[in-house]
Amino acid sequence: MPHLPVRLTIGQLSERSGVPPTTLRYYEERGLISSERTSGNQRRYHRGTLRRLAFISAAQRVGLTLGRIHDALATLPDNRTPTVRDWARLSEQWQDELDARIDALHRLRDRLSGCVGCGCLSLKVCGLYNQDDALAAKGPGAPLLKPASEGGL
């Protein structure tokens, strides 16, 4: 009863990860995951790829791009199970970024609740809109708002 096959087919990996086969191929093209090939040219994956995929999904959920995720994953070994050390290194890299994102969210949320409650949701007072944007990098332009003596509210 060998229910722990050494290598997974793309279908099995897809099934277990919830990531469509097309996307798995796409990720491979982007260098986010890797595979070996059978003599018949079919992909076979290490079971550790599941963990990589889980990580990718988690990171995407919080808004990081595949590019950034790729950079992070590049520090992990392709061919062996990452050690605690490997993950720790990755962790350090992202600590600031994640912290900044959490901060931005807190600001948005708190302004919307507490700050609204206190009536200060005004551009000239709230730090929310004038924070500089350590990450995100949504558009190329700077999201710098200079209110210049606002009127009402």
Partner DNA sequence: CTCAGACTTCAAGTTAACTAGAGGTCAAGC
Partner DNA sequence: GCTTGACCTCTAGTTAACTTGAAGTCTGAG
- 3 or 41: CB nearest a copy of itself: 3
Q: Are strands 36-37 and 43-46 parallel, antiparallel or unpaired?
A: antiparallel
The answer to whether 68 and 92 are in contact (CB under 8 A) is no
- 6 or 84: CB nearest DNA: 6
Per partner kind, with CB cut-offs from 5 to 8 A, the member of DNA, a copy of itself, none near residue 2 is none
In the range 108-137, which residues lie near a copy of itself by CB under 8 A?
Answer: 108-109, 112-113, 116-117, 119, 121, 123, 128-129, 133, 136
Residues whose CB is less than 8 angstroms from the CB of residue 12 and which lie 6 or more positions away in sequence, other chains included: 5
Measure the CA angle with vertex 84, ends 81 and 89; round to 5°. Answer: 105
In the range 5-44, which residues lie near a copy of itself by CB under 8 A?
Answer: 16-20, 23
Tokens of 98: 């994640």
Tokens of 105: 């969210």
CA separation for the pair 54, 62 (Å, rounded): 13
Please report, as ranges, the residues that interact with a copy of itself according to CB under 8 A.
Answer: 3-4, 16-20, 23, 47-48, 50-51, 53-55, 57-63, 81-84, 87-88, 90-91, 94-95, 98-99, 101-102, 104-109, 112-113, 116-117, 119, 121, 123, 128-129, 133, 136, 138-139, 141-153
